[in-house]
Every structure is written in C-alpha cells, then in structure tokens.
Structure 1
Amino acid sequence: MGEPYAMTFTASGGRAPLTWSFTGTLAAGLTLSTDGALSGTPTAAGTVPFTAIVRDADGQTASARLLMRVEPTLSLFTVGHWNLEWFGAPNQGPANSTSDGGVPDDLQVAGATNVIRDAGAHVWGLVEMVDTADFNTLMAGLPGGYRGFLANNTTYVLSGTSLYSAGEQKPGILYDSSLTYRSAQIILTAQAADFGGRPPLRVDFTTRIHGEDAPLVVIVTHMKAFEDMTSYGQRQRSSAALKSYLDQWLPEARVLVIGDWNDDLDHSISTQNGVALPTPFLNFLDDPTHYTFLTKVLTDATIRTTTEYNEVIDHTLVTDEVAVDAVPGGVQVLRPDATIPDYARTVSDHYPVLTRYDLSGVPGPRVRVTEPLGGTFVVGTPLAVTWRSAGVSTVRIEATYDSGDIWSVVAPSVSASAGTFTWTVPDVESDLVRVRVVDTANASRFDMSPGRIWFTRAEPRVIINELLANEPALPGGTAHEFVELYNTGTAPLDLSGWILWDALNPQHVFAAGTVLQPGRPLVVFGGPAGFPAGTPDTVAASSGSLSLNNTSDSVQLKRPDGGVVDRVEYFSTVDAVSINRSPDLSPDASFVLHTTLTPGLQSSPGRRADGGAF
C-alpha cells in the first residue's frame, strides 16, 4: 500500500490486437488499460478478487480469475552484519585498501560507508574492526542519526580496554534513531580463548515492537577461524557456551546473535580423513523450538558469504521471540563486488548479510506462514505447510482454489508448536490456490501465503535452451555471456531460490517472486552491461558474473534443495556464437552452434532461434 505498482498482462495465441478488460473490482488506486497494463498506487490494504479478460481481433476471449493482495504499509526492521576485514589496520587486511596518494585505508572506509548507507539497515553488527578513528570516519559519513562504538570504547563498555586493545580485531555496533541504547558488555570472557580471543559484544536496546517500547538484545560474535581440529573444537565449545548463556540469562528475550561464525550449518568446513565433520552448531539446530538460524536458507541454497569460498560462514541466529517476526524471503547477501572495483582487495573478503523483520501491528498472539510462499506443485505430491507462531496453542490449516471466495479446511487442529503440516496436493487443477494458517482461538488471527500457488496434474519442466560462453568483443566483456531458460510445460514455474551453477560454483540465484510462465524464456546475462536496461525476460547474474570458460565447462540449473533440473556440458566454443538446442525449444534435443541452426544469426537470447518473438 502506498507504493507505485505496475505490471502488464500477457496472453498467447489469438490475432492482434489484443484488448484487455476486467470484471469485479480492482484494488483501490489501480487501473487496467486496454493494452493490459495494470498500474497505479494502491490506497487500501486487503485482498481483492477480479477477473482479467482478453479479447483478440476476431472476438475470441480468454479470462483468468485473479486475486490481488495489497499489504498494509510495512516499516520493516532490518538488521545487518559484516566482517570488515581488518578494518583500518595499518599493515593487515585488503592489500589495496588505500588509494594512490590517499590517507591510509581510505578506499576501505569509503566502500564500507557507501554500502552501509545504501543498505538502510537499522542496526549493524561489525567484526574485525581495528581502528577507532576509521570507524568514526565511517559513522560520520552515514545519514544523521547513526551512532555506534567498538568493544574497547569505555564510554559504553566498562571493561572494554582490558579485553580489547586498540590494534586488535574487535566487534562493534552501529544503530540508528529507531533504537535506544541501554547498556553494553563483553560476555563469555571466561571462554575468550575459544572465541579466538574475541569474546562477544552484547548490546541491549529498546525499540518499537508491535506498538510498544520493548527490549531487544543484539550480540555480535566472531568465532574462531580455520579448518584444523583445534579450531573446530573451539567453535564447538564457543557454541556450547553461547547457548548456555542464552538459556540461562535470556530464556524469554528477543535476541539476535549476528556476525562471523566461521563455519557452515549443513556440515563443518573442517574435515577428518577427508570427510566433513558435523557443524559445530548442532546444539542450536537441535533446539528449533527456541532458536532459529535465519541464514540456514543461504546454506541450503549455497549462497556464499565470502569472496573466496562457497561455504556460508556469516550467520544470524534468533530466539523464538524474534523468529516469529522474521519476514519470509527477507534474508539477503549483498554483493558490493558488483559495483566496487576490486572489492575483495579494497574493502573485505566477506559480504554483508541482511535479515528483515515485521515489527508492526499490536502486541499479542500471532502466526506467520513461512512455506509455501508461492510456487507450482504437482497433484499427489507432498506439500509442507510451515509457520512460526507466538502465544498460539493450536492452528487450523485452510486452502482456497479460487483466490479466496471459498476456503476449505485441510487440517482442523494442529499444535502450533509443531510448526509444520504435510499435506498431499489434492486432485485440483488451479492457478488460484492460497494456503493460510489460522489461530483456532481467534479466526481473525491468521496469515496467508503471499505468492500465487499453482496445482497442476502435469509435471512442470524448465530447460536450458541456449547459452553463450565465448562472449563477443564488446564493451562489458563477460557481461555478454548468457544462459537462456525456457518453460516447456503448461503451468507457471516459481524459480524463487533456484540457482544457476557453472561446473564448480553458484553464479546466479533467482530472486523471490521469479515466475517463468509456460512457453516463455528467461535469460540470465553475466552482467547488466550485456543487455539494454528494461529488456523483458532478462536479468543479470546475482554474483556479478556467469564465469563460463571458453574452452569447456558445464551449466547446471538447480532447485533450492540442490536437485539438478537441467545440465549442459560443452567442450569447445566459437567466439560470439551461442549453442542452442536443435530443434529449438525441444527438451531432450542436443546442442548445436547457433549459426548451424540459423545461418547468419550468431545468437538469439530471449527470442526464438530464427530471431522471431515468443
């Protein structure tokens, strides 16, 4: 609500021109033009069903029943954390952090300032902070209202100087005017050695939460690095000490533990006899009732948080009092390397991580759907409905197949603490499905899946149809590499969280809400310089590059769970010429040079192989 909205309906078949109309009521503030453009600024929250109608030049019509959900204005609370490699250290850290003739570390300070300024986070946990003067310069470059300190600042942390010297790596905090500082302390000092000499910084705030001023605790941690067994044991003991502290001193508090945990969640970076050891944080993962790693979604999708390694080692852990307010799909790894030249050698070897929370509304019980957020599901397959709740005893699971006109009970009563219910997709063909979780004690307390859900009897299929690895000699270089996907099925396919890999690394993660319609392409370019801004059905690689080798490589499309959907391997390339399935758009066809398929045409991203439009 209150934000400009625009989208254009499309239809396949029919003789042009196509004319669009609707029956029912559009969301207040929106209009639908005859060319299918739905636009405006919604002025009221709510769910509005309507029917979109398209008519071709011969009078043939088609229609679709749709549901538009306008969310109330949200002021999301955003939390960031970032390992700023040896920030401000005179002789350590990024090799090129100082410009020619500039003051020491001016490039690192400027890069960090710009990223934090543009991210819009309300609070930042920072680690590997060394120089207080450079930290103050960073803070001075941010919009008014930001305050902060490092762990050795005795104005805030009484014991700070006895635990952290001026030249050491130390945690720090930045916060804006939405938070009120209350106190700070270094915790777990008896376990400092296990934390690599960097015990965590705890900062207590109050902020506005569900209409009340409420306490919020932020703990900034930096665990022991390295893969050796000694370091692994230190991380295990640090994790045990941290959980014991939280269990004893903050059992019912809203707590965020953020920073560089130096290990992953599916398995450890450490190995024994060539086999990866269990994650050292199993103690938290084994207690999902009280603790949630929001960054587990990054581990599952292999979205790395460092410039060098695929592992996810920078994490956000929250208590259950915070988890219920976490926004599904709200975890994000920022990629400053897409805009900051030589980022890893000027700013940091880690990427910033953001998480978002909805702290609006009134105090009291609440429930939030976490899955499904949207997507396509095949009749007869299991569908897990998951949620988080606070103050709710039992919930009812409901579904609609007509955008909300009629709701059917799927499960009349499920323990809210279970947080999940597995449902078999019924024999219904519909693209108007929604699922909601309702508090059985108060039907007005519910949450509904935000995205559109499709139930289909046909297995959806998306293929890699064309790719260009040996880019043309044009400005932008490897930005002109591309991979073209095509939906061969009859149902839309939600690609949210799907990943494009080369042979070794993930190169692009599809953003939340990315839906590939049947019979449509989607092209991923190496960078935005590879295509004109506004080109339909086209995105730039989220990693900043596709990194396809000119000699040989493979391209893989994977689901968020790691399952391979399609894979193409090539062993040679021709400069500026793509390879394409022949026949074009055929799921099981082999690949040939594009010039073999269509003589005189080197590639056709986003178009048919003969250059025609879809």
Structure 2
Amino acid sequence: MITSLIFAQQNDPARYIDVATFNIEWFPCKDDGAMMQRYGIHLSHPPRGEATDVRALFRMLSRLNLELLAVEEIVDTRMFADSARHYMGDRYKFIYAPGRGSQKVGFLYDSTRLRLIGAPEVYNDLLLKPDSWLRPAFRAYFKTLPEGFDFHAIVTHLKAAPRGWKQRQKQWNALHEILRKLPEKTGDADIILLGDMNNVSKRREQEFKPIMDELGFYRVTRELNGMPSNYWMADWHAQRLEASLIDQIFVSADAKVEYIEGSVHVAGMCASAFDGYVNGDFPLYYRKISDHCPVIARFRVDRDDD
C-alpha cells in the first residue's frame, strides 16, 4: 500500500517536473549543406542530406510534455521559438545564450509550470578566447509553480571530437569554478548541469568524473546503464553508426534530494538501445530529427529542501 502511494505521488504531474537535454543537430539545417550556407555556415565537407523535419520534431516534443528542455545546436533561434509556440502552445518560452558561433544553447520551458527568476547568465569563460567559435555555458534560475522547488539550470555544449580533449579539459576547469562559486554567490545550492559533454576521448567518463566527484555532484545519466544518447558515423564507407552516451545530466548534492532516483531515460531512436546500424539502414529519426536523443530526468517539486 505504501509503495503504491509513493508510485502514485511520483507520477502525479502536480508533484514533479521532467527536465531534459537535447542536441537538435544544426536546427533547422540538420544535414542540408545548402541550407547551412544560407545561414553563413561553410563547412569543409558540407553534408548532402535532409533538413530538420520541424513538424516531426515538435510533435515528439509535444508528446514528451517536458517542463524544461536544455537545447544545443540551435542555428535559427527565432525559428525554434516560433515553432515551439506554433506546435506546443504559447506557454512555451525560449531563452538562449547569444554568441559569435552559429550553434546556440538555451532553454525551452513551460511558463505555466516554471517561473524564470532574474536575468539568465552567459558564461563566456567556456569560449576559452574572445574570438572563439566555441559555445558558452548558459544559466537560468527557475522556480516551480505555484510554489516549490527552485534551482539553477546550466546548459553546456563542450568542444567536440577526441582531439578536442585539451580544450574540453580547459572548459571543465572553467565549469569547476562556476559550479564551486555559484551557491555562495546566489544563496542556492540546487544545481542541475546538463548538455552535450562530448566525452569522446579514451578517457570517456574520466573526462569529468574527478571534477564532479570533488564538487559532490551526482551523475544522473550513470543510471542509464549502457543506453545511448546519440549515434555517430563510425565508418563512412560502410555507412555504419555506433551508439554512445555523451549527453549528460548532473545534479548537486542539494538537488539530488529532489531528483527521483531511477527516473532518467532516453527518447527517440535511442530508446531502442541498439548498439548501432549498418549499410546505411538508419531510422527515419536519424535522417529527419537528430543524431542525438532527449535525455530526461524527473524531479519532485512539492517540497524544497534548501
């Protein structure tokens, strides 16, 4: 009886929020190289695939019914905001970090469930140098409605590729200082850090584990137990995709009290948990939406223990 009551409370929408991270591959260009060029993006090897299927993307997001979505790789921020309103309703608001690079990070949130408090903060420390095309980190402070859990959400999209580790290492050092100082600076130690961490070197989780352990953060995505968050082209000639987990969610010790253990899961093509795909036999999701998938975690909001 007690177990049933706890389960019912955890699945009562008034008592929780779903928070997610999602890299929406070069939205809205995806693999359309000609569209990229119209946005001023000139890659050395432009892709020749399809643009984002905007309708399919937002239909999926509508079904997920998320309260807070951290997004990465948004090229056209106005189109993203307009599409969210069109397909999901006026209650969804979009905020993002401006910057020199073509890929933006930001938050899409349900304004009937979350109130944005104060001005968001852009952390240009992660750019490493002023003329960098890297992405900044972006923080927003939210409070659940009507009254309950309030927390900092920080979205990041770190330098890509195995050879990018030295830059990621510097970015992690910058994040270490941001996360260390934030509780004292703001008076709230509830922090959710999420995004595309690109931990693709041979170090894998060791890219971030020493820093996160030192700060006392819990890696929520460790609970995925091998489930992937994205697929990458391991062999262009053989048209072979391999699965990996590079989209991460971390919570501070204080925010872990609100996190519902075991709730983390992946959506999209990653929910199938396939190790990979061969001979170009790829799911429509991969061709039309993204090479990444939403990673979702649930938090209690009927109390605030800070």
TM norm. shorter chain > 0.5 = yes
CA shift in 2, pair 1:214/1:305, >3 Å? closer
Instruction: Number of aligned residue pairs: give it.
Output: 262
Which residue is 1:82 aligned to? 22
Find the partner of 2:206 among 261, 279, 300. 279
* Secondary structure in 2 matching 1:287: helix
**Residue equivalent to 1:191:** 126
Alpha-carbon distance between aligned partners in 2 of 1:244 and 1:359, rounded to the nearest angstrom = 28
Quick check: 1:359 aligned with 2:295? no
Q: Which has the higher contact order (CA 8 A, sep 6+)?
A: 2
Does 1:306 pair with 2:239? no
| Alignment-derived partner of residue 246 in structure 1 | 179
For 2:191 and 2:48, how far apart are their aligned partners in 1? 36
Shift of 1:185: 2.0
The alpha-carbon distance between structure 1 residues 130 and 363, as it changes in their structure 2 partners (threshold 3 A), is closer
Counterpart of 1:330? 263
Report if the CA contact (8 A) 1:337-1:343 is conserved: no
SS in 1 for 2:162: coil
**Identity among equivalent pairs (%):** 25
Equivalence for 1:345: 287
The residue that corresponds to 1:321 in the other structure is 254
TM-score by length of 2: 0.76
Q: Which amino acid aligns with 1:259?
A: G
Q: What is the distance in 2 between the residues matched to 1:94 and 1:70?
A: 51
Per-residue deviation, 1:249: 2.3
Decide whether the 8 Å contact of 2:149 with 2:300 is kept in 1: no
Partner SS state of residue 127, structure 1: strand
Are the structure 2 counterparts of residues 69 and 345 from structure 1 closer, same or farther at C-alpha, using a change threshold of 3 Å?
A: closer
Q: CA–CA distance in 2 between the matches of 1:338 and 1:327? A: 20
What CA deviation, in whole Å up to 9, does each residue of 1:383-405 have, x standing for no partner?
xxxxxxx8xxxxxxxxxxxxxxx
Structure 1: how far apart are the matches of 2:205 and 2:49?
36
2:275 corresponds to: none
Q: Deviations over 1:151-178 (max 9, x none)?
A: 23xxxxxxxxxx336xx00102100021
Structure 2: give runs of 5+ residues left out of the alignment: 30-34, 233-241, 273-281
Structure 1, residues 525-576: CA drift from partner, whole Å, max 9, x if none? xxxxxxxxxxxxxxxxxxxxxxxxxxxxxxxxxxxxxxxxxxxxxxxxxxxx
Aligned to 1:169: 103
Task: Give the corresponding residue for 2:114.
Answer: 179
1:223-257 Cα offsets, whole Å, 9 max, x none, are 010011xx111112211211211111225421111
Match of 2:236 in 1: none
Say whether residues 1:237 and 2:204 are aligned partners.
Answer: no
Q: CA RMSD in A?
A: 2.8
**Partner letter of residue 169 of structure 1?**
Q
| Aligned residue runs from structure 1 range 495-510, under 5 A | none
Q: 1:319 to 1:123 in 2, by over 3 A?
A: same
Q: How far does residue 95 in structure 1 lie from its aligned partner after superposition?
A: 4.8
1:131 to 60, 63, 76: 76
Higher strand share goes to which structure? 1
For 1:51-70, list aligned pairs within 5 A.
69-70=4-5
Distance 1:76 1:256 in 2: 15
Q: Which runs of 5+ in 1 are unaligned?
A: 1-45, 48-67, 99-104, 153-162, 264-268, 365-389, 391-614
Instruction: Show CA shifts across 1:130-166 (max 9, x none).
Output: 01232023212113411113323xxxxxxxxxx336x
Contact 1:94 1:344 survives alignment (8 Å)? no
Aligned AA (2:263): G
Counterparts in 2 of 1:28-107, with a 5 A limit? 46-47=1-2, 69-71=4-6, 72-73=8-9, 74=12, 75-89=15-29, 90-91=35-36, 95-98=48-51, 105=52, 107=53
How far has the Cα of 1:363 moved from its partner?
5.0
Give the match's secondary structure for 2:214.
coil
Matched, 1:270 2:205: no
Q: 2-side partners of 1:306 and 1:222: how far apart?
A: 14
When the two structures are superposed, what TM-score results if normalisation uses the length of structure 1?
0.40
Change (3 A) 1:256 1:95: farther
The one-letter code matched in structure 2 to 1:304 is: P
Q: Any conservation in 1 of the 2:17–2:67 contact (CA below 8 Å)?
A: yes
